[in-house]
Amino acid sequence: MISTRSCIVLLALAFGVCHACLSSRPPDSTGPVSEGQIAPNFRFKDQSGKELSLVDLRGKVVLINFWATWCPPCREELPSLVSLLQQTDPNELKILALSVDESWAPVNEYLRQVGMLVPVYDDFDRNISKRYGTLKFPETYIVDRKGTVVRKVIGATDWVAPSMIAYLKELLTESNSG
């Protein structure tokens, strides 16, 4: 027969193991970034190697989207991001599609296969997604003109759904008047 003390110890160990599985994050992660927080600055590169930073985009509303070609929900979401890109003024709204693939090869092959032209940026080492505490893809952070994270979206989203378009228009209007 197991003693009460042994049961308590076993339960405590089981809880610890389960808690570790559910809350595990890479040790070098500083996230998760949350709504209301100033978006941590980061540097990123486009395919030509040109380096940019989030702070360079201050004054625009920015969608920071972490995605990968091997992620089915990401592949499902990308066409609506492309559609949003086509419907918005790049001087007002900037979409940063940060790929967490291993290199440009799978990104270029995927974009060629689906015939999409969308600017994609490099997070191949996952330093940016780790900094934001992103573990599941896709994940998107909406940042206002002042650099504050105003919304965090986990999972695939229809970025051109009427409710999302209305939200973004309201955010752009609020940002212009603030």
Distance separating alpha carbons of residues 171 and 163, to the nearest angstrom: 12
Supply the pTM of this predicted model. Answer: 0.80
**The pLDDT value given to residue 15:** 40
- Report the share of the chain in percent with pLDDT over 90: 66
Give the pLDDT score at 77.
95
Per-residue 3-state assignment (H helix, E strand, C coil) for 25-57: CCCCCCCCCCCCCECCCCEEECCCCCEEEHHHH
Q: What are phi and psi of 138, to 5 degrees?
A: -80, 160
DSSP 148: B
pLDDT at res. 175: 56
Tens-place pLDDT, residues 121-155: 999 999 999 999 998 999 999 999 999 999 999 99
| pLDDT tens digits, one per residue of 6-23 | 434 334 444 443 332 233
- Residue 60: pLDDT band by 50, 70, 90 thresholds? very high
Full set of structural domains in the chain with CATH: 31-177 (3.40.30.10)
* Mean pLDDT confidence for 87-97: 92
